[in-house]
Amino acid sequence: MKQNSGQPAWKKWLPWVFFAACISAWVAYFVTHIGALVDSDMSSEMILGNILFQENGFLLTKNWFYSTEIRLLHQQAVFSLLFRLTDDWQTVRIAGTLILYAAYLAAWYYFCCRAGIRKYFPVTGGLLMLPLSEAYSYIMLLGAFYIPHVVLALVIVGLALGLMQEKKGRMRRSILLMALSLLAGLGGPRLILVVFAPLGTLALMRLVLRRSKADAPFVGVTFGACGLALAGYVINAKVLTRQYNCSFTSEYTAIRSYSNPASVQIGIPSLSDVKDVALGWLRSLSDDRAGMFRLVALAVLLAAAAAIIVVLIRRKEASEAQKFSALFGFLSAAWLTLVFLFTDMERNTWYFVPSLIFLLPAFCAFLQLCPLRHIVALAMTAVLLLCGVRGYDNLALWRERTGRISDDTKQVAQFLQDNGYREGYASFWSANVVTELTDGQVDVWCPLIGDPQPVTEYIFKPQYISQWLQPVMHTKRRPEGKVFVLLTAKENKTATLMELPGVSVVYQSDDYVIYDVAELPEVIPSE
């Protein structure tokens, strides 16, 4: 406190102004644009939350086809609780996402306190609320899919840091760390690689290299936490995926991800593998097609790597928290990189983001040892702020690049609702989003529609309903009442639905075609 007492007042409040400005800018953008940016992946979580609300549930239901993993603690828990307060889906989405943002920032603050970088919280917290890249924007801000995982990760690593630093409250921290580790494993394999592999490696290094009795609590509890996380994952993979409807065990998926490790093969990396992994890291921080921002992302990653090296070289001057932050950031990135290089696991850019977040405290640890810390911090903040500002521009083009939603999607949803359609068919990227945009009033069955198979009468057969992110009930009965089929313009090019009796086009635009199939012949099997 004495060190800061001579600081000008503006130096104390300026970081908080930056923090408030970043949060306000993103929240304002999110609230005003989410209706035009929501897609069926996002809407799936809303529909699942609504099903849990209707069943008076909270976490899991057997009336849902999950994707490649059962995520126990996820967005559906927040959404299902909010549906008890309102039936306005947009209100639930906005309020639920804001709650997740608050949890994210609270977990980051806790971690900053434990890592000894609390003074950097306002600036780093503000940076985390910027749309740094398409991947980060989608999974952490727009969709908020990864926030529950990252919150758990930050709290778990913060608790582990606390075990190293303080004897007081060690038993309480140990119990909480064990419980959260089991919960993390029960939520799927996502954190095993990003958190527990580096934590276990750190504990092993301290056991082998230091052999100090003072390290025994940290080493023992960390090994126990890693074991419980693995046990939780085994329960998830062997019990939950069989009790509930998960594509992890389904013929519908062949995704080689850490959701399905049995399908992963080990091999020697090729130059193509090295290139893919390098691009994955770059895309996690920037997605600019022109290339300039790829160079910016490369500079940021190289700076983070250099920062880690400096902290480790100057380890005698560094505190335990600084060394821990640098080593953990390095090990998390290293584990992810090695697994991606030496296996054929799917290298989705999303998977890099949690490890990317842990490079930030590693850089902050370096700043505390750097004599030019103010200049370096200002330069890095300016660079990341530039990426964030560019991210807002990229979001404006996001719909066009993904092709998942168009300006006409809201009009289509409104047309269906206004004309008495309550049940019908559409492909995945049209189905769930229509349900959300109509506040759950229009229930959409999602058959297996996709290139190169033409859209014919097969879509009305229950056995062709996709077992992916939709209610199980959709495979047990067909839509009733006024039934529609919603196709994109591309899907409609191969459609032969007009050859069926009683089928007519009731809506057509540049992006969509809606067929009325209320008079569908009964010869089509409904069992």
63-107 pLDDT tens trace: 999 988 888 888 999 999 999 999 999 999 999 999 999 999 999
Residue 3 falls inside a structural domain: no
Residues 337 and 476 in one domain: no
DSSP, res 370: -
Residues 335 and 423 in one domain: no
pLDDT band at 117; cut points 50, 70, 90: very high
d(C-alpha 25, C-alpha 38), whole Å: 19
d(C-alpha 392, C-alpha 406), whole Å: 18
More confident residue, 59 or 86: 86
Q: What is the pTM of this model?
A: 0.91
Token reading at 82: 């909010």
Residue type, 430: S
pLDDT band at 290; cut points 50, 70, 90: low
Residues 280 and 216 in one domain: yes
Residues 114 and 171 in one domain: yes
Q: Which of 257-266, 326-335, 399-408, 510-519 has the lowest mean pLDDT?
A: 257-266
Mean pLDDT of the 36-65 span: 93
180-217 pLDDT tens trace: 999 999 988 889 999 999 999 999 998 888 767 767 88
Last residue of a domain, one of 338, 370, 400: 400
Is 90 exceeded by the pLDDT of residue 444? yes
Is 80 exceeded by the pLDDT of residue 464? yes
How many CB atoms are located within 10 Å of the residue 416 CB?
26
Token reading at 270: 């090729």
Is 70 exceeded by the pLDDT of residue 148? yes
Residue 2 falls inside a structural domain: no
Residues 471 and 331 in one domain: no
Query: CA distances (Å), 325 to each of 81, 222, 322, in order?
Result: 36, 16, 5
Residue 66 falls inside a structural domain: yes
487 — phi, psi (to 5°)?
A: -120, 150
Mean pLDDT of the 458-480 span: 90
Residue 113 falls inside a structural domain: yes
488-523 pLDDT tens trace: 998 998 898 888 888 999 999 999 999 999 775 564
Phi-psi region of 423 (alpha: psi -120 to 50; beta: other; left: phi over 0): beta
Do 521 and 512 contact (CB within 8 A), yes or no? no
DSSP, res 238: I
Residues 136 and 188 in one domain: yes
b/e 169-185 (16+ beta carbons within 10 angstroms → b): eeeebbeebbebbbbbb
Residue type, 193: L
C-alpha closest to that of 495 among 462, 445, 457, 524: 457
Q: Which of 310-314, 464-468, 520-524 has the lowest mean pLDDT?
A: 520-524
C-alpha closest to that of 361 among 127, 80, 185: 127
Is 80 exceeded by the pLDDT of residue 157? yes
Residue 189: its pLDDT value, please? Answer: 83
Query: CA distances (Å), 267 to each of 96, 339, 343, 345, in order?
Result: 42, 10, 6, 11
Last residue of a domain, one of 400, 434, 467: 400
Do 90 and 35 contact (CB within 8 A), yes or no? yes
Residue 11: its pLDDT value, please? Answer: 74
Residue 525 falls inside a structural domain: no
Is 50 exceeded by the pLDDT of residue 1? no
Is 60 exceeded by the pLDDT of residue 253? no
d(C-alpha 464, C-alpha 71), whole Å: 26
More confident residue, 377 or 113: 113
Mean pLDDT of the 403-430 span: 90
Is 50 exceeded by the pLDDT of residue 256? no
How many CB atoms are located within 10 Å of the residue 234 CB?
12
Is 60 exceeded by the pLDDT of residue 273? yes
Degrees to nearest 5, angle at CA 447 with 525 and 254: 120
Is 60 exceeded by the pLDDT of residue 110? yes
Residue 98: its pLDDT value, please? Answer: 98
Q: In the chain, how many domains are there?
A: 2
Residues 38 and 112 in one domain: yes
Is 70 exceeded by the pLDDT of residue 6? no
Residue span of the structural domain in which 416 resides: 409-516
Residues 395 and 423 in one domain: no
Token reading at 294: 């790829």
Is 50 exceeded by the pLDDT of residue 254? no
Residue 526: its pLDDT value, please? Answer: 44
Residues 388 and 414 in one domain: no
Residue 248: its pLDDT value, please? Answer: 54
Residues 386 and 415 in one domain: no
How many CB atoms are located within 10 Å of the residue 21 CB?
12
Do 245 and 67 contact (CB within 8 A), yes or no? no
Residue 491 falls inside a structural domain: yes
d(C-alpha 140, C-alpha 105), whole Å: 12
pLDDT band at 262; cut points 50, 70, 90: low
Mean pLDDT of the 349-363 span: 92
Percentage with pLDDT > 70 across the chain: 90
Residues 416 and 396 in one domain: no
Residue 521 falls inside a structural domain: no
Give the chain's mean pLDDT.
Answer: 87
Last residue of a domain, one of 400, 432, 456: 400
d(C-alpha 287, C-alpha 503), whole Å: 44
Residue 512 falls inside a structural domain: yes
Per DSSP, which regions of 335-491 are E strands? 423-426, 443-445, 483-488
Do 145 and 117 contact (CB within 8 A), yes or no? no
Residue 411: its pLDDT value, please? Answer: 93
Length of the chain: 527
Q: Which of 8-17, 147-156, 272-281 has the lowest mean pLDDT?
A: 8-17
Residues 392 and 415 in one domain: no
